[in-house]
Amino acid sequence: MDFNFTDEQTMLRDSIAKFVAAEYDFDKRKAILKSADGWSKKAWATFAELGLMAAPLPEEYGGLGGGPVDTLVIMEEFGKGLVVEPWLQTVVIGGGFLKHAGSEAQKQEHIAAIASGERIVAFAYAEPKGRYNLSDVSTTAKKDGAGYVINGHKAVVIGAPQADHLIVTARTAGGQRDAKGVSAFIVAKNAKGVTTRDYATIDGFRASEVYFENVSVGADALIGAADGALPLVEKVVDEAIAGLCAEAVGTFRLMHSLTLEYARQRKQFGVAIGSFQVLQHRMVDMFMATEQSISMAYMATLKLDESDTERAKAVSAAKVQIGKSGRFIGQAAVQIHGGMGVTEEMRVGHYFKRATMIDAQFGNVDHHVKKFTNLSMPQAA
Amino acid sequence: MNLEYSAEEIAFRDEVRAFIRDNYPAHLRDIESRDKMNREDFLAWHKILGKKGWSAPAWPVEYGGTGWTSTQRYIWGEENALAETTPLLPFGLSMVAPVIYTFGTPEQKAYYLPRILSGEDWWCQGYSEPGAGSDLAGLRTTAVRKGDKYIVNGQKTWTTLAQYADWGFFLCRTDPDAKKQEGISFILIDMKSPGVTVRPIIMLDGGHEVNDVYLDNVEVPVENLVGKENQGWTCAKFLLAHERSGIAGVARSKRGVERLKDLARAELADDGGPLIRDDDFRRKIAELEIDLSALEYTELRVLANEHAGKGPGVESSLLKVKGTEIQQRLTELAMEAVGNYTMPYFRSAGDGNDFAVGPDYAKMTAPSYFNMRKTSIFGGSNEIQRNIIAKMVLGL
């Protein structure tokens, strides 16, 4: 058992922290969010230069051969900087699908392009009525000669405005919620019949509603086995959740330290509000929730390569703990900041928004408690 | 970072598992959840481990520690919890002993430590007083030096299992004029000394677990002082940090979750199905299990730090708070799980209810619930732990 980061991982962390301090501070980030595209191509290029795209991808396709711990380090620092570029979607999800199940040709074509920063991928899985159920897929991909024709509507696809390729889940067989019959495809966003409505999310990301209208793709667009993609989707989503947990930890650390700082300097009744025991204990509870969350982010990350059941249990447990902690830490941070906490002027509120939205991504507390419960206490037992 | 055990660690696990299987007295397996324990029950496993040289894994090797790594100690804890062995009492092994080997004289180390290791001496803790609970430094028991003796007078309370104790470690005021924390000394007292009186305090579960200890002109040789006179507060704080580090009780709580699931399988919900399939109840178990997982990995991170040379620090306050919350929650859910049969008052065999009422697993559920409320109060209440974190970690 070992909880240490390697020197390379520490250097990676430092280089992102340096970047955030110099190029992605509060005002610069605000300007990025206000720009027409709402994200920074320059930052994206810097990420590629720093090797962040290549970090967790396989070496034979231009990656650096790292693993989930590299993702953890990167996402935690992104959380501290509230980075809105779609790195998770592109590298962890896009790269994840391709490295786990891509054909040789798909790997050659896409992984090297992701690693170099040329390719941006978004994951079109959620549907307007599918909520968090990964097998609830009504988008269809009908066999057409050697290829498929895709029809459907995908909801809140984070990073789709920036993306040049989409990974799409679609039903090739079975009923709307059947586990079997789900397939995954990689589709160029400029393919005929793909349209998007782009918008901003409340936490500063960009997303789209994506519509597929008779979109023809070749057989080479299929990732992994036809009808049998659900286990792959679950695995990649778990890897993404572990990344989100690390990102959440970054936001928690900042909310906690910003709150401490504020409580030390803000005076009421002639003294710093940090001298009040009722607020001290609240901040201690924030500290404990943060530490527990760090532990869970590590645990989920380190169990990603275990059996499907162990992995899913670990990830759901982490997502539950981090969802609850995010709610608590965020609300406490805003409360202790008082009126300033509910304005756009203070940094803390922006972390609160991101931490809150992380709970809504890939299944909230209720979703993952239920999932964990069924894995821990199987109904048949 | 990784979570894997090495081949040596797996071999170690197999070795300790086999040792426990071959040496742990069968009649004591899981006795805590079935019955009250007597003096011999408490000591049996300690004595077996003392002979094997495994009673104090956390001690430095030179004093009788095992030299195990933090991972090996973690494995040891896990295996004991799996086999439902009785936990070793902390008062000698993990409270007074670290103070003695850290602050004691060579003579004190040579005399006391082997007797603690073997289980020969039973120790109790003389810290709290009627007027000094969370505000421990407000203690008023005095030790006045007279020639080569201290004359000790005062009252200690909440002294756990003092009725069995051979020795006690006491905080006494040796300089009444000094500032609160600065006039205190750490003194070892033979519980058989004239002037020591132990009076039982009966807890909500009906058990005799704690006591008042009265000290009336008790004569104590000056060589029983540990560390320097008037510097006992250093020992006291050091001991409290050690006391807290074992307090998370992760491995035993993991076993506790499994037991709770067994209860929920045996009991029926209102719809006649197993309670474990009741949506509300299974969610409670799951959320507890998740909290426990967060505590487990936090403790592993703390252990890894300790192994890297940092002693138990303020993190132990966090482990204390979260660990005790979970232990309490476990007893709460067990009580809920058994429904009506949590009500009959079980004291001990032959003591009032000497015929069996309800399932065997039900009888200790309410007593355990009431008893375990102590955990968020003792060892520095959970509110005091928050004060410590606020001051030491957050710098408030």
Residue A104 sits in the same domain as residue A128: no
Does A2 reside within a domain?
no
Does B111 reside within a domain?
no
Residue B177 sits in the same domain as residue B128: yes
Residue B377 sits in the same domain as residue B300: yes
Residue A272 sits in the same domain as residue A364: yes
Please list the residues that pair with B219 across neighbouring strands.
B151
Q: What gap in Å lies between CA B21 and CA A34, rounded to an integer? A: 67
Residue A193 sits in the same domain as residue A91: no
Does A139 reside within a domain?
yes
Taking the whole predicted model, whether its pTM rises above 0.95 is answered as: no
Cα–Cα nearest to B296, from B48, B21, B28, B77: B77
Residue B62 sits in the same domain as residue B142: no
- Return the residue in A2, A295, A306, A374 with the most chain B beta carbons within 10 A, the one to mutate for interface testing: A295
Domain count within chain A: 3
Given a contact cutoff of 8 angstroms between Cβ atoms, the answer to whether B172 and B189 are in contact is no
What's the pLDDT tens digit per position in B90-147? 999 999 999 999 999 999 999 999 999 999 999 999 999 999 988 999 999 999 999 9
Q: What gap in Å lies between CA A142 and CA A188, rounded to an integer? A: 18
Of A280, A288, A376, the CB nearest to B318: A288
DSSP code of residue B2? B
Residue A285 sits in the same domain as residue A359: yes
B70 or B156, greater pLDDT: B156
Share of chain B above pLDDT 70, in %: 93
Task: Report CB contact under 8 Å: B294, A293.
Answer: yes
Residue B202 sits in the same domain as residue B278: no
Does B117 reside within a domain?
no
Give me the domain span that covers residue A291. Answer: 231-376
Query: B309 falls in which pLDDT band (50, 70, 90)?
Result: low
Read off the CATH number of the domain in which B357 is found.
1.20.140.10
Read off the CATH number of the domain in which B137 is found.
2.40.110.10
Please tell me the predicted confidence (pLDDT) of residue B246.
63
Does B105 reside within a domain?
no
Residue B215 sits in the same domain as residue B333: no
Which residues fall within 8 angstroms of residue B335, CB to CB, at 6 or more apart?
B342, B365, B366, B368, B369
Q: Which of A118, A153, A180 corresponds to the end of one domain?
A: A118
Residue A191 sits in the same domain as residue A300: no
Residue A195 sits in the same domain as residue A103: no
Read off the CATH number of the domain in which A67 is found.
1.10.540.10
Sign of the CA dihedral with B115 first, then B117, B118, and B123 last: positive
Does A181 reside within a domain?
yes
DSSP string, B123-177: EEEE--BTTBSSSGGG---EEEEETTEEEEEEEE---TTGGG-SEEEEEEES-TT
Q: Which of A227, A260, A279 corresponds to the end of one domain?
A: A227
CB B205: neighbour CB atoms within 10 A?
A: 20
- Look at residue B152 and tell me whether its pLDDT is greater than 50: yes
Does B95 reside within a domain?
no
Q: Which of A227, A244, A262 corresponds to the end of one domain?
A: A227
Q: Which of residues 64-103 of B touch A (CB under 8 A)?
A: 71, 74
What's the pLDDT tens digit per position in B294-303? 999 998 888 7
Within 8 A of A296 by CB-CB distance, chain B residues are: 293-294, 297
Does A346 reside within a domain?
yes
Does B107 reside within a domain?
no
Task: Give the tokens for residue A239.
Answer: 């890897």
Q: What gap in Å lies between CA B370 and CA B350, rounded to an integer? A: 21
Please tell me the predicted confidence (pLDDT) of residue A381.
46
Residue A237 sits in the same domain as residue A331: yes
Read off the CATH number of the domain in which A241 is found.
1.20.140.10
Does B114 reside within a domain?
no
Range B318-335 average pLDDT: 96
Please tell me the predicted confidence (pLDDT) of residue B354.
61
Q: What gap in Å lies between CA A343 and CA B96, rounded to an integer? A: 53
Task: Report CB contact under 8 Å: A372, B3.
Answer: no
Which DSSP helix (H) or strand (E) runs through B321?
A: helix B315-338
Domain count within chain B: 3
Give the distance from residue B380's alpha carbon to the nearest chain A alpha carbon, in angstroms.
Answer: 15
Residue B252 sits in the same domain as residue B220: no
B120 is catalytic: no
Cα–Cα nearest to B121, from B198, B191, B193: B191
Does B362 reside within a domain?
yes
Query: Is B301's Cβ below 8 Å from some Cβ in A?
Result: yes
Q: Are strands A182-188 and A222-223 parallel, antiparallel or unpaired?
A: antiparallel
Residue B253 sits in the same domain as residue B370: yes
Give the distance from residue A380's alpha carbon to the nearest chain B alpha carbon, in angstroms.
Answer: 9
Task: Report CB contact under 8 Å: B389, A260.
Answer: no
Residue B267 sits in the same domain as residue B317: yes
Residue of B nearest to A275 (CA): B396
Does B100 reside within a domain?
no
Query: Is B15's Cβ below 8 Å from some Cβ in A?
Result: no
Residue B220 sits in the same domain as residue B255: no
Residue B290 sits in the same domain as residue B351: yes
Q: What gap in Å lies between CA A63 and CA A68, rounded to an integer? A: 14
Q: How far apart are the first and last CA of chain B?
A: 33
- Per-residue pLDDT tens listing for chain A (381 residues): 788 899 999 999 999 999 999 999 999 999 999 999 999 999 999 999 999 999 999 999 999 999 999 999 999 999 999 999 999 999 999 999 999 999 999 999 999 999 999 999 999 999 999 999 999 999 999 999 999 999 999 999 999 999 999 999 999 999 999 999 999 999 999 999 999 999 999 999 999 999 999 999 999 999 999 999 999 999 999 999 999 999 999 999 999 999 999 999 999 999 999 999 999 999 999 999 999 999 999 999 999 999 999 999 999 999 999 999 999 999 999 999 999 999 999 999 999 999 999 999 999 999 999 999 999 999 864
Q: What gap in Å lies between CA B396 and CA B385, rounded to an integer? A: 14
Please tell me the predicted confidence (pLDDT) of residue B244.
58
Task: Report CB contact under 8 Å: B394, A373.
Answer: no
- Identified catalytic residue from B243, B267, B299, B336: B243
Q: Which of residues 239-268 of B touch A (CB under 8 A)?
A: 261, 265
Q: What is the ipTM of this complex?
A: 0.93
Give me the domain span that covers residue B316. Answer: 248-392
Which DSSP helix (H) or strand (E) runs through A188?
A: strand A182-188
Please tell me the predicted confidence (pLDDT) of residue A104.
97
Residue A300 sits in the same domain as residue A366: yes
Q: What gap in Å lies between CA B380 and CA A380, rounded to an integer? A: 44
Residue A305 sits in the same domain as residue A351: yes
Of A1, A284, A373, the CB nearest to B394: A284
Residue A156 sits in the same domain as residue A108: no
What's the pLDDT tens digit per position in B197-229? 999 999 998 889 999 999 999 999 999 999 999
Cα–Cα nearest to A155, from A182, A125, A199, A179: A125
Helices (H), chain A: 7-23, 26-34, 41-49, 68-81, 87, 95-101, 104-106, 112-116, 230-265, 277-302, 308-337, 347-360, 365-376
Does A194 reside within a domain?
yes
